[in-house]
């Protein structure tokens, strides 16, 4: 049952990554590219956890990938808010 749930999470993350990739191709906004990369990393970490069957102590490196993905999402949001808007006018 655990492998089934890990597989479902992998597919969910992969679908979300593909949606963000499609939005990035339409708009060329870096936010969508960062989100697509983050969800692809989350999918890869789920796949690695499922296929390797490591004990809990040995999963630290793979679980660190999840931290990297969440930090990438945080960076994408910060980057988006720091850039000037397209329609902004300067006084």
Q: For residue 49, how many other CB atoms are within 10 A of its CB?
A: 20
Q: Give the model's confidence band at 86: pLDDT under 50 very low, under 70 low, under 90 confident, else very high.
A: low
Secondary structure of 15-56 as H, E, C letters: HHHHHHHHHHHHHCCHHHHHHHHHHHHHHHHHHHHHHHCCCH
Q: Specify the pLDDT at position 89.
A: 47
Instruction: Examine the pLDDT at 74 and tell me if it is beyond 50.
Output: yes
**pLDDT tens across 29-63, in order?**
999 999 999 999 999 998 888 888 777 777 888 88
Instruction: Examine the pLDDT at 14 and tell me if it is beyond 60.
Output: yes
pLDDT above 70 covers what percent of the chain?
92
User: Would the pTM of this model clear 0.85, i.e. be above it?
Assistant: no
Report the first-to-last Cα separation within the chain, whole angstroms. Answer: 60
């Amino acid at each position: 049952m655990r492998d089934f749930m890990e597989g479902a999470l992998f597919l969910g993350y992969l679908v979300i990554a593909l949606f963000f990739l499609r939005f990035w191709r339409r708009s060329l906004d870096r936010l969508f590219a960062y989100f697509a990369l983050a969800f692809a990393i989350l999918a890869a970490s789920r796949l690695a956890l499922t296929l390797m069957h490591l004990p809990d102590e040995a999963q630290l490196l793979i679980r660190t990938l999840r931290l990297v993905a969440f930090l990438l999402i945080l960076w994408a949001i910060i980057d988006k808010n720091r850039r000037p808007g397209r329609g902004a006018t300067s006084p």
